[in-house]
Amino acid sequence: MSEKHNPDKEISASRKAMYYGGLALMVVGFLLFFSVFVSGFTRMNAPSFDYGNSFMGRGLVGFLLVLAGAILRGIGARGLAGSGLLLNPKTAREDLAPYTDALGGMAKDAVEGFQKAGGAAGREVIKVRCAACRALNEEQDKFCSQCGKPL
């Protein structure tokens, strides 16, 4: 199966830059936030332990960077309309097209893999219970596989 490449469903370079920039902000923010705990544990043994403004300020700045990075990453990934900042259903569908196509492709691949592996995709298995011994038999069986009586 060959997939056709549709250039209209490509993500723009500016959205990619926003996505990766947001991801970088999140990493830097997490490192700043985490550094508060590391430096706090190392300073606890110091004789003059002080919760200075810079000590806690780093944590706050780190948290705000993580938050801003997550927002930028979401906008970069889904676009303005796809992330819900711009209320325009048509633009939202266009912004989300690469991701919905990818998700549909992944679902299609999963179903095809299941079918190739011998799965019963879309097919119901019906069993018939024997009135005499209560054993389950295949639908097409004429006699019970356990006791041999007619179904």
pLDDT in tens, 15-37: 889 999 999 999 999 999 998 88
pLDDT confidence tier of residue 2, bands split at 50, 70 and 90: very low
Residue 10: closest CA among 97, 108, 107, 103: 97
Mean pLDDT rounded to a whole number for the chain: 79
Task: Assess whether pLDDT exceeds 50 at residue 3.
Answer: no
Average the pLDDT over 123-151 and give the result.
88
For 44, half-sphere exposure in the C-beta direction (CA atoms, 13 angstrom radius) is: 6
Structure tokens at 43: 């300073």
The pLDDT value recorded for residue 101 is 73
- Cα separation values, 18 from 12, 22, 78, Å: 10, 6, 11
Inter-CA distances, 11 with 59, 94, 108, 109, Å: 34, 10, 22, 22
Q: Is the pLDDT of residue 103 over 70?
A: yes
Quick: pLDDT tens for 67-78: 999 999 988 888
